[in-house]
Amino acid sequence: MSEPQHRPYRRVLLKVSGEVLMGDTPYGIDTKTVESVAEDIREIVQSGVELCLVIGGGNIFRGMAGAAKGMERSSADYMGMLATVMNALAMQDALERIGVSTRVQSAIPMATVCEPYIRRRAQRHLEKGRVVIFAAGTGNPFFTTDTAAALRAAEMQCDALFKGTSVDGIYSADPKKDPEAKRYDTLDYMDVLAKDLRVMDASAVALMRDNNIPIVVFSIKGRGNLLNVLKGQGTHTVVSGVRAA
């Protein structure tokens, strides 16, 4: 049995929502959850896959929520970007403590705490086997971390974008609210947009479609799920340019 059958991806970008890092707490960063995700990432790196990472900031501050409460949208979004930097530093700390070489690159320069985002430098880090965590979104307001993840996946020439969520794939409705919701094994990019499935922002899905990069949606809450899905096992949904039969 050949190794490529188990590891079809050479380089992937993992998008993790900030809410995942809360664990069972109502707010902030749950250390045990961060450590669990870090262990999953270590398994991927040890398998030989080059991995980069984008983490949302919703566990600390969400720009759109701040704007909904009356804040000026640009200011609220910049605050959300700073929240993603905090999450990136927490993940870097967890990874370095278990022996995974990691670099944080921020789209908003803050040289005291991390590197600025430089595409060629990030690619070199990946080639050397380091995990690169992209922080501060795209560096611009009005763009979500989903769009940032899609942009970085394209820039890094990733083979796939893995989105780790609290559910095990894409459903026709919220499975937590609708017990009749149908889970999809495969979807076309246009299906996601036409059905308004909201697994990612429309701009992110369109960017993945234009660059022919598949989106793999799975639950990151169970230990080992990431490696299983990377091998093509476990429960997940794949969004690509190939329609289901």
Please check whether residue 184 is in contact with residue 169, taking contact to mean a CB–CB distance below 8 angstroms: yes
Backbone torsions φ then ψ of 106, nearest 5 degrees? -105, 135
Q: Would you say 224 is a known binding-site residue?
A: no
Q: Would you say 138 is a known binding-site residue?
A: yes
Q: Would you say 33 is a known binding-site residue?
A: no
Please check whether residue 160 is in contact with residue 11, taking contact to mean a CB–CB distance below 8 angstroms: no
Q: Would you say 87 is a known binding-site residue?
A: no
Q: Would you say 28 is a known binding-site residue?
A: no
Q: Would you say 113 is a known binding-site residue?
A: no
Q: Would you say 186 is a known binding-site residue?
A: no
Q: Would you say 139 is a known binding-site residue?
A: yes
Nearest to 19 by CA among 8, 29, 4, 7: 29
Q: Would you say 57 is a known binding-site residue?
A: yes
Q: Would you say 152 is a known binding-site residue?
A: no
Can you state the angle between helices 202-210 and 145-155, rounded to 10 degrees?
10
Q: What DSSP designation does 104 have?
A: E
Q: What DSSP designation does 166 have?
A: S
Q: Would you say 174 is a known binding-site residue?
A: yes
Q: Would you say 177 is a known binding-site residue?
A: no
Q: Would you say 221 is a known binding-site residue?
A: no
How many Cα atoms sit within 13 Å of 45 on the Cβ side?
A: 24
Can you state the angle between helices 73-97 and 31-46, rounded to 10 degrees?
60
Q: Would you say 143 is a known binding-site residue?
A: yes
* Residue 63: Cβ-neighbour burial (10 angstroms; 0-12, 13-18, 19+): buried
Q: Would you say 58 is a known binding-site residue?
A: yes
Nearest to 204 by CA among 145, 157, 131, 244: 145
Q: Would you say 93 is a known binding-site residue?
A: no
Q: Would you say 109 is a known binding-site residue?
A: no
Q: Would you say 144 is a known binding-site residue?
A: yes
Q: Would you say 165 is a known binding-site residue?
A: yes
Euclidean distance between CA atoms 100 and 210, whole angstroms: 33
Euclidean distance between CA atoms 109 and 94, whole angstroms: 22
Summarize the annotated binding site as residue ranges: 15-18, 57-58, 62, 77, 138-145, 165, 171, 174
Summarize the annotated binding site for UMP as residue ranges: 57, 77, 138-145
Summarize the annotated binding site for ATP as residue ranges: 15-18, 58, 62, 165, 171, 174
